[in-house]
Structure 1
Amino acid sequence: MDTAVLPIEEGTNNKKQTNTKEQQRLVALPSSLSEGEEEDEGLLAFSEHQEEETELLVVEDDDTMPKRPKKINKKKPLLSSQPHYYYFSSHFTNKWTTRAKELYSQLTIHEISGSVGDLGTFIPLAVALARQNAIALAPTLFWAGFANVMTGCAWDVPMGVQPMKAIAATAIAHELTNKTQVTIAGIFMGLFMIALSITKGIELVNWLVPTPVVSGIQMGVGINLAIRGLVMIQGLSWWSEIDCIGLALIVALACLYLLREPTTPAPTTTTTTSNENEESNSRKTSSAPPPRPVGLYLFGLGLVLAMFHLLFAQATTADTTPQGWQPIIVWALQGATWDDWKRGLLQGALPQLPLTTLNSVVSVCCLAHNLYPEKRKTTTDTDAVVSRREVSLSVGFMNLILCPLGAMPCCHGAGGLAGQHKFGARHGASVVFLGGCKMILALLLGKYLLKVLEALPTSILGLMLVVCGHELAVMGWTVLAKEHQSSAEQGNIPRKGVVVALLTVIVDVGLHKTHYAALTGWIAYMVYGDGMKEYAAQWQKIRSGDAGQYSPVARSKEGSADPLQVT
């Protein structure tokens, strides 16, 4: 801190000077605190933004000896000129402005094509629930779009927002008899998922479920989705209408041709770099979108056929379309009774909890880890692309906050991620675009939403669902193949993992109960796959602080061995 003091003319005997003018000394003083004063730590955090002030002080000389220059501390009030919230809001605005620019730069034709990848699941379930009067369609579509936008901004992966299938199936089967019970089931699911994230229980679940079981869950859920799509198509006629089985077959052949995997370059002859070349090629294949936006072609064809259906179909006398403007915000808990709360918990939330925990958190994080190896966070303790605790919190708050406002219970399903990836999505821009479209449609169409969504051809939606399920099953098999290779390299019997995974698939496909399948696979792993030895060895590593992976089976580098470690 520099101060400039004009020199005082010195006399040899310290006598008074005979100048007729009064001598003046200009002292430059900074606006800082004087010595000995304690500086407030809270104000110092913002004092860096304050410009230092200097002022010229005139000190008159008199007949006495030169005195020490006076120090004047003048400082603008920080809190009145630049309040605290200015800095926090500025930082928040800059962060989201940067993210918005990234999303805009990532929005390509392939991202738009991939955004429709999970509509094969969303639209049929939403329409079925709306027909059962189990949800209000306009608020459901609006808040699902809002959740899509928030998800795409938070994560740079095409994480879908899908209906909770167990709750939807229960409502369609009339076990949940009204909208209030469906809403309450979603609220309880939100509370459960938040508790699992805060208490790190989701990490314990992830640590307990071995890789073959996760692979079996992915394959089982994928096969179930594909079967559901085939059943939708099977209910159509062969050729009597435009929306028919013949159309589905023609479009399916086109998809087989257009969605072919890109060819990878031939491996080099150098043995020392073969693994690196293989990993590099797999990353390029994973990150490269398909050469053509097939999802956009499919959905565009569906929209054209829906328009023809709406324009030329004969008007029916039994038109159940709601009349008047449909609000996008409703209080879904109005008139809730004790019986509604009990049925929502017992019939809705509890059957859904295992499916959401395994498929919408553990499985979807594993899938993102394998689909996007180039996005692994190598600078942190875990290299997971998306943290399990973050996903659990997202599902929890999404249902706890939005369900009372009219939203349908939703989660981040692995099928949605697989479908959007298959059709070309690689970034969060795809789901942001999809969410914006959902919100706009909910605001503009209102009472016509149900009629428009019902007009979309079942053959196209069913085929999209088959493609999503197929991609999820393929990724589950890929995880199993990596586990098979890892077990062979470690000298273990590769067949054990295959047996455990296929038992999981059989129970999942046969009973349509993911939690039964996971329990069966875990028991098979403990008995047939020497799981007791694996858990004992891993627990010893955790106690000694020398654990390399969080799972009893060595997965690809995805996290910590400690099931209670924050990820």
Structure 2
Amino acid sequence: MDFSNIRRLHLNNVAAVRKSPISEISGSLGDLGTLLPLMIALAINNSISLSSTLVFSGLWNILTGVIFGIPLPVQPMKAIAAVALARKFSPGEIVSAGFTTSGVVFIFSVTGLLQWFARAIPTPVVKGIQVGAGLSLVISAGTGLLQPLGWTVPNAADNLIWSILAFLALLSTQRFPRAPYALLVFLVGLVLSIFIAGLDSLPSFMLWRPQIYLPSWAEFETGALDAGLGQIPLTTLNSIIAVSYLSADLFPELPTPEVTSIGISVSLMNLIGGWFGSMPVCHGSGGLAAQYRFGARSGASIIILGLFKILLGLFFGESLVRLLTVYPKSLLGIMVLAAGLELAKVGEGLNHGARDLWETAEYGTNSHPALDNHQRHRELTDEERVQRWTVMFMTVGGLLAFKNDGVGFIAGMLCHWVYRSPRLWGVLLDWRRSGRRSTTTGAEQEHLLP
């Protein structure tokens, strides 16, 4: 990891908090729609330790905010969480799944394979992964959180009426983007949760008592094969490569986190926290887009969130489960919807402003020194624009159809190679022709020798 920019990032964090403290706090809560449902479900399922998850994810929030200086989220590994919930994983099994994914990602990072992978993947495919992830969030918000609601069910504090009110409030923030929407929704949700569960549901003092989890061989085998391996493509594409691209788009004035640094960060979070039953976590482009959408502009936002998590984990821990279980899905659904739309918006810059369209403009030696190595935007032909859009949406289609980032990636890469094949074939033919000419020329010269 590059620690040389920490001072600069620290100054930016401090400046952001002083300028807009409420926006930074609101932005820190932007990813709750992804975090809360999975974390709560896994805690109720006894697959993770809620207190350890809060303490360690809070610690990673703080370190991430200090080292990277942007609101990089710490969110659940979704593929592992989905399998763990479906099969009721034990803590040893879910920890083993996190170890497997993180171990592979760590090897990719230290060997340089991640950097090669990031360079080899065309920008339209990466954009497709981002747009597909955003649309997946929108779909999950509708089917998993909002669709089951009725006008008066499941109760008076969680129904379609609350969703409509939250959506109208969200629309109003289009004109007032600095409004602390996520903070207000979170506070309203807490009040409604207390109303639903009653005062008896308020958390009580419960000091954190860390416990070490040592998976058996059977647990490791189940976790690794059934969940860990399936998480690797998702983590590599959406939690590392797509995050690096999105960071450059959202924060061009700040140093962009390198894929190697992000990969090592993901690995260490789980290789350390997993021993204590913490939920497998990663970074994610969806969470970054969500926190940016709701006001976060620096690492200070997630540092604040991290401190809050650590306090809850250290002093309340498992007693929070009952209150968080009844948190209104009507409000969470709208927050997830907004996060998904924010992430899907990055597809707009595919043919204008994408990093692969910038090239170095060379000027003569007599040019002004300030113009040397100046970056200019390459203009695309209409055919190139159509091809790039097609590759991106082929990636999106594969991801959404099979609910798998790996399938979307393969579909996008195949489409990209189909478009590139005539060009590659032409290069091969030119190479063969040049080789024949060289051979013929050599034979003629030999024939002319005395």
Q: 1:337 aligns with which of 216, 227, 230?
A: 216
What amino acid is the match of 2:416? Answer: Y
Aligned-partner residue type, residue 148 of structure 2: G
What code does the residue aligned with 2:102 have? G
CA-CA distance at 1:337 after TM superposition: 2.2
Determine if the alignment matches structure 1 residue 489 to structure 2 residue 379.
yes
Identify if the C-alpha distance between structure 1 residues 450 and 356 changes in structure 2 by more than 3 Å, giving closer, same or farther.
same
Report if the CA contact (8 A) 2:64-2:72 is conserved.
yes
State the Cα distance separating 1:237 from its structure 2 match.
Answer: 2.0
User: Shift of residue 326 of structure 1?
Assistant: 6.3
For 1:133, which of 27, 34, 46 is the aligned residue? 46
Letter in 1 for 2:80: I
Moved over 6 A (4+): 95-101, 321-324, 534-537
Partner of 1:112: 25
CA deviations on 1:395-432 (whole Å, 9 max, x unpaired) are: 01111111112211100000110000000000000000
Equivalent of 1:354 in 190, 212, 233: 233
Quickly say closer, same or farther: Cα 1:238–1:535, change in 2 above 3 A. Answer: farther
Paired AA for residue 144 in structure 1: S
1:458 corresponds, among 301, 326, 329, to 329
Q: How many percent of aligned residue pairs carry the same amino acid?
A: 35
- Distance across 1 between alignment mates of 2:150 and 2:311: 34
Deviation by residue 1:233-268 (Cα, 9 ceiling, x = unmatched):
1112213522101210121022012134x7xxxxxx
- Separation (CA, whole Å) in 2 of partners of 1:103 and 1:368: 16
Does residue 525 (structure 1) correspond to residue 404 (structure 2)? The answer is no
| 1:197/1:389 contact within 8 Å kept | yes
Per the TM alignment, residue 366 of structure 1 is displaced from its structure 2 partner at its CA by 0.2
Pair 528,96 (structure 1): closer, same or farther in 2 beyond 3 Å: closer
Separation of aligned partners in 2, 1:345 and 1:324: 36
RCO higher in structure (CA 8 A, sep ≥6): 2
Structure 2 match to 1:259: 174
Structure 2 residue 311 is matched with structure 1 residue 434: no
SS in structure 1 opposite 2:149? coil
C-alpha contact (below 8 Å) 2:208/2:315 kept by paired residues: no
Mapped contact 1:113–1:425 kept (Cα < 8 A)? yes
Post-superposition CA distance 1:273-315 (Å, at most 9, x none): xxxxxxxxxxxxxxxxx231111121121122122223369x9
Matched, 1:418 2:305: no
Matching residue's letter, 1:522:
M
2:194 partner letter: M
Matched residue type, 2:314:
L
User: Are 1:212 and 1:483, in contact at CA under 8 Å, matched by a contact in 2?
Assistant: no
Counterpart-to-counterpart distance in 1, 2:163 and 2:291: 20
The DSSP-based 3-state class of the residue aligned with 2:316 is helix
Taking the aligned partners of 1:104 and 1:310, their CA distance within structure 2 comes to 38
Residues 105 and 243 (structure 1 numbering): CA distance in 2 closer, same or farther, change over 3 Å? Answer: same
Q: Counterpart of 1:278?
A: none
Larger Rg: 1 or 2? 1
Letter in 2 for 1:461: L
1:185-204 to 2 correspondences below 5 Å: 185-204=97-116
Task: Report whether the alignment pairs 1:394 with 2:273.
Answer: no
Contact 1:360 1:411 in 2 (8 A): yes
SS of aligned partner of 1:291: coil
Check whether the contact 2:205–2:315 (CA below 8 A) recurs between aligned residues: no
Length-normalised TM-score, structure 2: 0.82
Cα distance change of structure 1 residues 301 and 445 upon mapping to structure 2, 3 Å threshold:
same
How many Å separate the matches in 1 of 2:45 and 2:422? 45
Residue identity opposite 2:38 in structure 1: L
SS in 2 for 1:141: helix
Q: C-alpha displacement at 1:340, in angstroms?
A: 1.3
2:348 equivalent among 473, 477, 486? 477
Matches for 1:357-396 after TM superposition, within 5 Å: 357-375=236-254, 377=255, 385-396=256-267
Corresponding position of 1:504: 395
396 and 327 in structure 1: CA distance in 2 versus 1, 3 angstrom threshold: same
Residue 480 of structure 1 and its aligned partner are, at CA, apart by 5.0
The equivalent of 2:80 in structure 1 is 167
Residues 51-70 of structure 1 correspond to what in structure 2 (within 5 A)? none
* Residues 481 and 505 (structure 1), Cα distance of their counterparts in 2 relative to 1, 3 Å cut: farther
Flag structure 1 segments of 5+ consecutive residues without an equivalent.
1-91, 263-289, 316-320, 378-384, 541-567
Task: State the shift of 1:203 in Å.
Answer: 0.9
Conservation of the 8 A alpha-carbon contact between 1:142 and 1:328: no
The answer as to 2:162 corresponding to 1:247 is yes
Deviations 1:433-452 (A, max 9, x none): 00111111112222311112
Give the alignment's TM-score, normalised by structure 1. 0.66
CA contact (8 A) 2:10 2:69 kept: no
Relative to structure 1, the CA distance from residue 292 to residue 527 in structure 2 (aligned partners, 3 Å threshold; closer, same or farther) is: same
Per-residue CA distance 1:125-160 (angstroms, 9 max, x = gap):
001111222111111111111110110111111000
1:42 aligned partner: none
Q: Secondary structure at the match of 1:456?
A: coil
CA contact (8 A) 1:143 1:407 kept: yes
Aligned match of 2:193: 306
Q: Check whether the contact 1:118–1:160 (CA below 8 A) recurs between aligned residues.
A: yes
Give matches, 1:10-25, under 5 Å: none
Deviation for aligned residue 1:104: 4.3
Q: CA RMSD for the aligned pairs?
A: 3.0
Task: Say if 1:237 and 1:100 are closer, same or farther in 2 by CA, change over 3 A.
Answer: same
Measure how far apart 1:352 and its partner are: 0.4
Q: 1:479 offset after TM fit, Å? A: 3.3
Tell me the CA shift for residue 517 of structure 1.
0.6
Greater fraction helix: 2
The count of aligned residue pairs is 401
C-alpha distance in structure 1 between counterparts of 2:340 and 2:140, whole Å? 9
Cα distance in 1, alignment partners of residues 203 and 68 from structure 2: 37
**Alpha-carbon distance in structure 1 between the residues aligned to 2:285 and 2:166:** 24
